[in-house]
Amino acid sequence: MINQGSNSVLLDKSIPGRKRQIFDLLSLYQSSQIVGLIGENGTGKSTLVQHGLIPELHRGFLGIGGKNWKISTIRPGIRPIENLSSGFSGFIDENGKEKLEQEFSLTKEIKLHQDGLLQASKKHLSKGDGLNYLMVIDNFEDLFQFRESYEDVDTWDQNVNRFIQNITKCVFNSNVPIYFLLVLRSDFVTNIFAYRNFHELISKSQYSLPQFRKTEFQEVVHFLLEPHSIYMLLDAIDLLYIKLGRDLKNLQLLRLFIEHTAELCIQNSTIYADTTLLQQVDLNQLYQDSLEKIYEDCSPDEQKLVERIFKQITINKGGNSYRRPVRVEELLLVLGITLEELSPLLQKLKEDLSYVLEIIPPYQERLETVQNPILTNETVINIKNELFIPHWPRLIHWIEQEKSAQETYKRLSESAIMFEKELTGYLRPPDLDLTLNWYESHQPDEHWANQFEYNFHKTIAYLKDGKAAFDEELRLKEALQKKKIKRIRKTGISVALISLLVSIVIGVFAFDAKNQEKQARIAQEKAEREKKRASLERERSDLLYLEADRAMKESKTNEQLALQEKVRADQESKRANDLRDEAEEQRMQIQEAFHALDRKTDELGMTVNELQISDSLKSVATKEAESARAYQVAVNKILTLRNNLQKEDLLTENGSEILKGLSSIYNDYVKASIDFKGLVLPNDDLYQVLMETRGRLFKLKSHNLASYNLASLPNGLRNLKLSPTNYLATGGDDGILLYSLQPMKSLPVTFNSLKIEGDRIRSLEFLKNAELMVGTVKGKLYHFNLVSERLTEIKATGLNDRIIEKIIHHDGNLFLLQGGQILKIRLDQPTKTEAVTNLSASNIFKFRGDKLLVISNKSEVVLMEQKSLLWQSINSDLANKPISTAIISEDRVFFGMDNGDVYINQLISIGNFSSLKTEMVIPAHLTRITGLAYNKDSQKLFTASLDQKANIFDLNLRKLGPEYIINHALRIEGFNKWIWDFELFNKNQDENILTIDENGDLKFWQTSSEMLFKEIFENSEILYTELSER
């Protein structure tokens, strides 16, 4: 897709909740021509690019070739090099046959050479045409996930290698104004590790899509609700944020949730969605209900095809993955239907299941694709978003069925191979029965089986032969059983005859046994009589034994009584000793009680003193509560005044009253704040009221107020410098150098300008009050004298055509940052240039003494000796945190970060070794910090960012707690473009700030409410009279 938008077409396009991410991506393009956008599947990466980044580029983002952009979006698909060639051909103004010939020629060059794309870029793309070219490569993971779907894996690997090599060559050549954006799923990031140079490029400029902040999530919800004319209460949005907002993967689920919520609102006849309504929505049912409705709308034949299609694209060869891209050619063989029969169903699924399926043609943006949109055999069908799968029970059942079928077939195939090698036999029950049941129900064919291995015929033959062998085994067993039954029957007759003879013999023996039994009974009676006699004798002997035992027990009893008397005597003696010890213990307790009474008396005296102190503290607490209440009342008055000021015009009859009210409210706030915290807390609402009031008074040309706008150029200003005596110089994208003819001590100031033709100014540095060094985008270094207005180019050795990003002057030497390299140039001998070795830098700053503070490209903090150019790393806890700018103040270093935070670090030096320790982190902005300033006298920190805001933090509030610094920051508003730089200066002994921005505006701002109030009300009576007369 080719996009050569202008500033008008796409300005109305917006994407909610993504402003921070858009600015982050743009900041990466400031230092790199390739950016990798990384995120999980279904997190809105493509939407962010098409509806966020691309419209912002067309608003005039400055690239190598200028501010105009031509953009081509491709997807590698199953033919990556052909689609890369097609995307590049879109940059060239050719159509029809010439375009196709260009594509074919470029495809051939890319496949043969590593620099085919670079040579084509040099030939057709030039800085001189005023255009930048961006190629968006969406779904970059196609290069890795479609490998198994290609007909020849070796050829695929070779094509992927050439694809990546050609992009890498282009990026390494900065003379061609071509940029790349790679959109890649995070689970494929490790695949690029195999391409070392390419991986190093991406690792320096990759951007992982962050989760939504709560305010960003609110924007998304409001955007989705707007078409339904439904409103969601804040507590309901907070609940929804907890459920869905903390994970970007839930975006599609959020859309379904909003649609269902809108339906519930209509059913309940309300336009407000609250937490009660939200709790009626079952998140787990949303996907299922949506997908089941689409499935039920299909005919029975279509449902069978849908089941078989999903079974093919949701199981991989290992059976462990849900996603398996399938070519239509392979799908047709498995389904056993024609392309004409499949096309209508796939088209229907694509329309109804756009968030589930993706149908990827082999060629994109080609004439044959546009003129013949019917599916081809090379078209790939793939799961677009796997998140829905766990929520659709029907599909889970299909997946389990298919996985079981694959495992059964693989086990059967392995057994067939082992049987062929005589390592096993045929299957036996129950395995044979289970496999036969599977075969009958699944009916596998050769095309389905060949997805796993080419052994289908042998495998099925093994199964059928095994069944036949088992059937034959059963037949033989049955015949053997019949013979055995006949043999048993003959044996039974013989046994019966033998049994009869045995019965007769038993009868004879029974008669003889009866006679023997009678004789035994007589002998038994005689034995019983003898037994009774013996029993009587035993009883007599027992009586004699009992008499002897009784006499022995009486003897033992007497002995025990004697022992008990002795024990009793011992116990009486011990009791007497215990009573003596107890009496002594009671005496000690009485003494301790007297001591305790003395202590209680002392404590009572102390309690009386504490009650007196408590009364004093209560009085103080009451006073503090009253102060806090008065402070809150003053703050509420400020908020009310800000609201009224937005409604009222100062020219109305209430204008004078509004100003008088402002004066009263300001004084009340100052008093209440001092009473509350002992100092005047900065209040952003009061600051904005005073800024708005001053602005309106300036429009009325009242009170001799100076304009905030000091000067303006057609395009962006990038660098701003003040000399020690406050001479000003600034320059930027037009190559125009703007400089003041007198010091910035009072306003207005007269400016003059000088244009450097065909170049852009990027860096400035004052040597003296009227001598200035200028660095440009094309790598030129100039000396400019503000008095004589003479511009002279410095021909220093070692300079190239890359951007001079920074200039620092110290002790007759210049230190330049150009293309990551630090150069040292002697002003008196420019031909003697030294380069710092083994250090690639992203920024350099003046430091104490003869040292420079360097930020390396790896975000390491380094100290460098200016004389020897030797350097050493500083130990810090800032590792892997991208640093965009820094300032140094005595033993403190302030770092501005790419993510919008400001780190305040203490510098600790011991001998030759230094380290940094983070004292505080201020979440100052949404994205990259572009400028920092700090005044050690006022303890104020100034920050500017690509989020189009500048903030003022009062570090004096640190003694109250870090939250006071953040909550009481002042915001300088009124910017609609990026702020690039600022400087502090004193006007009439008051601290002011100068800013430059992408619009080319140079502005000044007061830095406190006190300054604004003083300027507005220094002649209050005259002011009131002017307004009354008007």
Strands (DSSP E) contained in 68-174 are: 68-74, 131-137
Helix, coil or strand: residue 954: strand
| pLDDT 10s digits, 481-493 | 877 777 777 776 6
User: Could you tell me if residue 151 is inside a domain?
Assistant: yes
ω into 429 cis (within 30 of 0): no
Of the two residues 483 and 562, the one the predictor is more confident about is 483
Report residue 8's pLDDT band, with 50, 70 and 90 as the boundaries: very low
Q: Which of 786, 732, 720 is nearest to 759 (CA)?
A: 732
Determine the number of helices (DSSP H) and then strands (DSSP E) in the chain.
Answer: 27, 39
Per-residue pLDDT at 435 exceeds 80 = yes
Of the two residues 236 and 659, the one the predictor is more confident about is 236
Per-residue pLDDT, 1: 53
Residues 273 and 232 in one domain: yes
Per-residue pLDDT, 14: 60
State how far the Cα of 981 lies from the Cα of 717, in Å rounded to an integer. Answer: 8
Per-residue pLDDT, 101: 80
User: Could you tell me if residue 618 is inside a domain?
Assistant: no
Rounded to two decimals, the pTM is: 0.59
Residues 272 and 161 in one domain: no
Torsions phi, psi for 503 (to 5 deg) = -65, -40
User: Could you tell me if residue 362 is inside a domain?
Assistant: no
Residues 775 and 807 sit within 8 Å (Cβ to Cβ): yes
Residues 73 and 19 in one domain: yes
Average pLDDT over residues 38-46: 87
State how far the Cα of 123 lies from the Cα of 117, in Å rounded to an integer. Answer: 10
State how far the Cα of 320 lies from the Cα of 331, in Å rounded to an integer. Answer: 20
Per-residue pLDDT at 9 exceeds 50 = no
Per-residue pLDDT, 895: 93
Last residue of a domain, one of 152, 177, 210: 210
Per-residue pLDDT at 545 exceeds 70 = no
| pLDDT 10s digits, 590-645 | 566 556 656 665 665 565 555 555 555 556 567 777 888 888 888 888 888 877 77
Residues 194 and 245 in one domain: no
Residues 894 and 934 sit within 8 Å (Cβ to Cβ): yes
Q: CA geometry: angle at 662 spanning 659 and 666, to 5°?
A: 150
Residues 46 and 10 sit within 8 Å (Cβ to Cβ): no
Rounded percentage of the chain residues whose pLDDT exceeds 90: 13
State how far the Cα of 629 lies from the Cα of 299, in Å rounded to an integer. Answer: 71
Average pLDDT over residues 651-664: 68
Residues 186 and 144 sit within 8 Å (Cβ to Cβ): no
The kind and range of the H/E element at 729 are: strand 728-732
Mean model confidence pLDDT for the chain: 81
Residues 203 and 105 in one domain: yes
Residues 187 and 252 in one domain: no
CATH number for 220: 1.10.8
Q: Which of 887, 874, 822 is nearest to 848 (CA)?
A: 887
Residues 57 and 205 in one domain: yes
Residues 140 and 244 in one domain: no
User: CB-based contacts of 566: which residues, under 8 Å, 6+ apart?
Assistant: none
Q: Which of 110-124, 302-316, 492-506 has the highest mean pLDDT?
A: 110-124
Per-residue pLDDT at 879 exceeds 90 = no
Per-residue pLDDT at 170 exceeds 60 = yes
Per-residue pLDDT, 535: 66
Last residue of a domain, one of 231, 260, 281: 281
Per-residue pLDDT, 942: 93
Average pLDDT over residues 645-673: 73
Average pLDDT over residues 852-875: 88
Instruction: Give residue 16's domain range.
Output: 2-210
Residues 775 and 760 sit within 8 Å (Cβ to Cβ): no
User: Could you tell me if residue 8 is inside a domain?
Assistant: yes
Residues 145 and 232 in one domain: no
Report residue 368's pLDDT band, with 50, 70 and 90 as the boundaries: very low
Of the two residues 6 and 244, the one the predictor is more confident about is 244
User: Could you tell me if residue 51 is inside a domain?
Assistant: yes
Residues 166 and 216 in one domain: no
State how far the Cα of 62 lies from the Cα of 177, in Å rounded to an integer. Answer: 11
- Number of separate domains in the chain: 2
Total Cβ atoms within 10 A of residue 354: 11
Query: Residues, the chain, total?
Result: 1030
Last residue of a domain, one of 210, 240, 261: 210
Residues 112 and 12 in one domain: yes
User: Could you tell me if residue 30 is inside a domain?
Assistant: yes
Of the two residues 387 and 792, the one the predictor is more confident about is 792
Segment among 196-200, 238-242, 567-571 with least mean pLDDT: 567-571
Report residue 783's pLDDT band, with 50, 70 and 90 as the boundaries: very high
| pLDDT 10s digits, 515-524 | 666 666 776 6
Per-residue pLDDT, 162: 92
Q: CA geometry: angle at 985 spanning 984 and 986, to 5°?
A: 140
The position carrying tokens 């004084």 is 667
User: Could you tell me if residue 135 is inside a domain?
Assistant: yes
Report residue 922's pLDDT band, with 50, 70 and 90 as the boundaries: very high
Average pLDDT over residues 278-284: 82
Average pLDDT over residues 131-142: 92
Per-residue pLDDT, 584: 67
Per-residue pLDDT, 343: 84
Residues 227 and 181 in one domain: no
User: Could you tell me if residue 188 is inside a domain?
Assistant: yes
Average pLDDT over residues 62-66: 82
Segment among 106-120, 359-373, 441-455, 861-875 with least mean pLDDT: 359-373
Q: What is the DSSP-derived secondary structure letter of residue 241?
A: I
CATH number for 110: 3.40.50.300
- The CA-to-CA distance between both ends of the chain, in Å, stands at 59
